[in-house]
Amino acid sequence: MSLTVTGTIGIDTVFTPDGQHRENVLGGSCTYFAAAASFYTPVRMVAVVGDDFPPAFRETIARFAGVDTAGLEVRRGSKTFRWGGRYQPDMDHRDTLYTELNVLTEAPPPVPDAYRDSRFVFLANTHPAVQIGLLDQFPDRRLAVADTMDLWIETARAELELLLTRVDGLVLNFDEAEQFTGLRNTVAAGRRLLDFGPRFVVVKKGEHGAILVHRDGIAALPAYPAERVVDPTGAGDSFAGGLMGFLASSRDTGEPTAFDAVRRAMAHGTVIASFTIEAFSLDRLASLSRAEIDARFREYQHMLRLA
């Protein structure tokens, strides 16, 4: 079924604890999500960049055959969103060095008419007021899930609370769940978030996996035990892409918000994210094959089997 993602496309600078760094590489929540989801289903992008966006980056996105970029606007006279970060030694936490919202402070990109019939919608990280406005343009949606970040929890709390009354699911990391609810326990924080309206909340915990807090139960999935972690940037967005891509592509999951469907989709997201972290930017996803994904998913299934 049709899947649309809205969010940021950016230019990143990343520093890692081992002294490596990459300046001005392709990034953004929408970018990682779309690349990951494209291994499961065609995905439509709604995003905006400035006229400083390098043509080579657009070529990289075009390498993912399942990604439709008709909704990617290049806005003349504007600058692309930029972010810089330095990872701490545990690679689960990072310090933001700078955030330049640039084109994100302007009007959001238009949704192409051809996209409005999308049944699956993911609102990747951007201002919650923009997410709400975009959500309203998909009247036939069957499943709507949102992501958020610490900046919006701090500066746009009211809009974020309103967004949660409108979506079926929320994906965020454990620091953000604590920041939003004031609760350190992940399950308790997830239950508090359900009170705002979503049917399920997925809390990402980095190398410790992810926890599903659902109105019908709780599940915990470990991360795939990666041997090599180069750059965790985009892992969470790739996780969400794998999750939503699987749900949008599956004919046997029934109701996409059902507990078992979301739990199985999380496993696919976990596997995709484990590839993202093996290189900077989208380099590993760009070289990834479906055969590699399927092989690692079988390994992950075997790892989870108790009997």
pLDDT band at 115 (very low <50, low <70, confident <90, very high): very high
pLDDT for residue 251: 66
pLDDT for residue 252: 58
pLDDT digits (tens, 9 = 90+) for 74-83: 999 999 999 9
22 close to 29: Cβ distance less than 8 angstroms: no
pLDDT band at 291 (very low <50, low <70, confident <90, very high): very high
What's the rounded Cα separation, in Å, for the pair 131 and 213? 22
Q: Which percentage of the chain shows pLDDT scores above 90?
A: 89
For the chain, domains (ranges, CATH) are 3-304 (3.40.1190.20)
pLDDT for residue 55: 95
Distances (CA, A) of 185 to 92, 220, 265, 301: 17, 14, 24, 27
pLDDT for residue 126: 87
pLDDT for residue 274: 97
Mean pLDDT for 295-300 is 96
Residue type, 151: L
pLDDT surpasses 60 at 148: yes
pLDDT surpasses 80 at 61: yes
What's the rounded Cα separation, in Å, for the pair 105 and 156? 14
Least confident of 21-35, 45-59, 251-265: 251-265
pLDDT band at 207 (very low <50, low <70, confident <90, very high): confident
Least confident of 4-13, 34-43, 146-155: 146-155
